[in-house]
Structure formats: C-alpha cells, structure tokens
Structure 1
Amino acid sequence: MYGRESAAAEPRLPAGAFEEIARIAAREEVALEFIDGKMWEKPVPDGDHAMIIQWLTRICIQARPELWLFPEQGLLVQGYRNGHARPDGVLAPSEALAGQSEWASADGVLLVAEVTSYDRDTDRRDRVEKPRAYAETGIPVYLLIDRDTCEVVVFADPDGTRYETVRRLPFGRPVELPAPVGILLDTEPLKDWVK
C-alpha cells in the first residue's frame, strides 16, 4: 500500500484520480488496484493466467455461441471496491454490454470467472470478498479457478448475501456449470498452467 493508513477523517482518493495515476504510473510487472479508497499493487497476470482465460473462452464459444466471455470487464457490484469489480471474465449474452460504460451493470451476467494470481492478496480478494460481492449482486454463478489449490470452485444459488451452493473439484475432473450457464468443463488442461 502507498502512503500511511488513512484515518476516518482523512479524505479518500477519488476513483477517477486513481485511474489516472494507474495509467501513468503502473510499471510493466505491476498493476494498481483501488480498494476502499486506498491504492494497492498486485502482479499483472502471467502467461498461464492468460492461457486459462483463453481455454475458458473457447469452451464457452463452442458450448454457447450466443454468449461471450468478456475479459477484464468492469462491473458495478455490491459492497466491494466502492461498488466496482473487474473480474477476469464476465459471461453474458454477446450484446449485453452494448452501450454501457467501463463499469457495466451486472444485469444479464450469467457468470463471473476469476483465476487466482500468485500474490499476497489472492486469498482475501478471490476467496472471500469477491464471492460475497458477486452473491450480493445476484450474479448466478461465480467460477474460481484456484491455481494454489489446483481446484475449480463453483459458487451458485446466490441468496443476496452469499452463495448457498459451493462445489470444489480438483483439476482433471469434469465440472458442470449450473443453470443458467449449463456448460461442462473438461479441466484436465488446467494442470499444465500451474506452478
């Protein structure tokens, strides 16, 4: 984190100012994130991370050609990063984001996907905060591809505060993404994209 911890009385950095700083100051190997008015750095996704998103995109196109997996699409969500999240992938009807801004409504989103990164913040971000925020927003399915545990975790049935159904399967097992997604994943290739 940059600077010192801010006290409640100190002003927070506006999101627009953060975005400008990130564009100017981000180094090639680091991305900046803006969480609860504070700036954090995290490693940029590696090549294996990109391969996993490519793998998922191909499966989604083949199984459901009317849908698209939008990479790194900003979404308006409940209770996370002042209402903003940027999942690794957003599965929605191919025209769902037409005319929307950088921070799109989650209406019509069927699934959000995250691939863990090898950083100190992954546990809190991908395994705790994002499942809660996505469930509160009502996104039907959250797919977590956890490279640390070599598992695919499928969160489903949001009740407005959490996902009621959570399935963990090791890489290599077939994974059924529940309705409204309805796609079967052959996760064997994921074994090749972990450290």
Structure 2
Amino acid sequence: MVTTSRKTHGCPAPSPEPEVSATTGEVPPAPAGENELTTLRDVYDALVGRTKMRAEIIDGRLIVSPLGTPEHQDMATTLAVVLRPHAVARGWKAVAGLGICTDGTRDPYEPDVAVYPPDAPRWGAREVYASGLVMAGEVVSAGSVGDDRDHKPGIYATARVPIYMLVDPVSEPARVTVFSEPKDGRYTIATTVDLGKEIHLPDPVDFLLDTAVFL
C-alpha cells in the first residue's frame, strides 16, 4: 500500500531501472514476467533517483512524502549542526538526512538526523545499515506523528541504534525525548523534557543538549 503524508550483507541487488524513451520520455511497459515490482522494496528501489520525495517503508506501508516545512527542515539542520562538532571530535559524521536500511529485510528509512562512523557498513553506495548508526533523530511533523512517536522507537531499537532522539514541536507542550538502552526490540529508558530545557544524550554520544536551540 502506498500512502502520502508529509536505518544483511549479501542481500540481492535491486532490479535494474527500465530505460526511458528518448522520444516520449515515458517508461515503456516491461514484458510480462520481466522486471515486475513484486515487493514494496522493489517499488522503493524504482523510485530512488527518480523523485525528490522522501520514501520509507514503515509497518508494511510505503510512505512517500515531500520534504518537511521550512520550520521542520530548520530544526533538523540545527540538530545536525549542533551535534557535528561533538561527532567530528569522535571521528563520526552527523548529517541531516541519510538513506539507511535495516539488516535482513532492508526496509529503507531516512531519519531527519543521523550520527554514524565513516566505516559504518553499507548496502551498496547509498544506504548505511541502521545497525551501524550511533544515533537517529526525528523531528515530528503533522503528517508523521504516528510513525515518529509510535513506530520509529521500535524500528530503531530492533536495529540496535543506541540512541533515538525525538524532537516533537507539535505536541502540547512541545517536547524532546531521548530513548536509549535498546533491548528485545524496545528502548528501556526514555527521558523527556519540555522544549527549551537541557537534555542529556547518554553514551555513546554523552552530550548535554540545550533544546532552546529549536525555539
């Protein structure tokens, strides 16, 4: 199911993209039984490189959405900028927007912010395995409330991402939550503060963040 709303080695390579007609600009239909899109991952792979939309597979749904509002993008960029000096000092990368996938199923995600070592394992050139992340961060928007709050903690915990940070400006009051200590597909510790307060990101990040940077 595709809806519109607003991280193992040896997995098979995605099907090659069909050629586009030079005269009509259209993709000709594939012969019966050839290059058929039979899974959500097949559909996702066909979209990559052809659209600027953000696409993820969450809970058996292919979610295709545009980039967030300027406010959303500003918060994501701000978090990456604040974390970057601390990450660089530890030999890591801190970026806003990164293609990742889960080990095994290769379900794709694109956290708003990701912290990871340069040698984190990858599937192909584009996707970093979620299990190689140090931290994933999401900024909640009106269209991502359920996925960011309810589904992403379990997804990232199952992938053994040490820290998941949720910036939630649409809650009342606006809040920031840090999830840590993943075990058996769930985070065992969650710390929440109102936006504007300080919050500690535990090991391996070990960083005191003043969330007033989001105001």
TM-score (norm 2): 0.70
Gaps in structure 2 of 5+ consecutive residues: 4-36
Which of structure 1's runs of 4+ aligned residues deviate more than 6 A? none
Choose which of 64, 73, 88 in structure 1 pairs with 2:87. 64
- Write the mapping of 1:11-22 to structure 2, written as runs, cut at 5 A: 12-21=38-47
| CA positional deviation for 1:21 | 4.2
- Residues 1:181 and 1:15: Cα distance change in structure 2 (over 3 Å): same
**Are 1:91 and 2:134 counterparts?**
no
Q: Match of 2:73?
A: 50
Greater shift, 82-91 or 172-181, is seen at: 82-91
* Residue 207 (structure 2) pairs with residue 183 (structure 1): yes
Identity %: 24
CA separation in 1, counterparts of 2:55 and 2:77?
Answer: 23
Letter in 2 for 1:48: E
Q: Superposed, which structure 2 residues align to 1:1-195 within 5 Å?
A: 12-21=38-47, 24=50, 31-35=54-58, 38-65=61-88, 66-77=91-102, 83-93=107-117, 95-97=118-120, 100-101=123-124, 102-119=126-143, 122-149=144-171, 150-191=174-215
Structure 2 counterpart of 1:59, one-letter code: V
145 and 75 in structure 1: CA distance in 2 versus 1, 3 angstrom threshold: same
Cα 1:60–1:2, aligned 2, differ >3 Å: closer, same or farther? closer
Contact 2:122 2:128 survives alignment (8 Å): no
| 1:140 to partner: Cα distance | 0.6
Q: How far 1:143 moved relative to its partner?
A: 0.3
* Structure 1 residue matching 2:130: 3-state secondary structure: coil
Change (3 A) 1:70 1:129: same
Structure with max Cα Rg: 2
Return 81-90 or 130-139, whichever deviates more.
81-90
Distance 2:132 2:43 in 1: 30
* CA separation of 1:129 and 1:78: change in aligned 2, threshold 3 A: farther
Letter paired with 1:58:
V
Q: Kindly tell me: are residues 37 and 129 of structure 1, through their superposed partners in 2, closer, same or farther at Cα, counting changes over 3 Å?
A: closer
CA distance in 2, matches of 1:110, 1:32: 22
Stretches of structure 1 that go unaligned for 5 or more consecutive residues are: 4-10
CA shift in 2, pair 1:70/1:189, >3 Å: closer
Q: Which amino acid aligns with 2:211?
A: T
SS at match of 1:124: helix
For the residues of structure 2 that align with 1:38 and 1:63, how far apart are their CA atoms? 35
* Residue type of the alignment partner of 2:181: D
Alignment match, 1:7: none
Structure number with higher helix proportion = 1
Q: How far apart are the structure 2 equivalents of 1:118 and 1:71?
A: 19
Provide the aligned C-alpha RMSD in A: 2.8
Aligned to 2:161, the other structure's residue is in SS state: coil
Matched residue SS, 1:185: strand
SS of structure 2 residue aligned to 1:73: coil
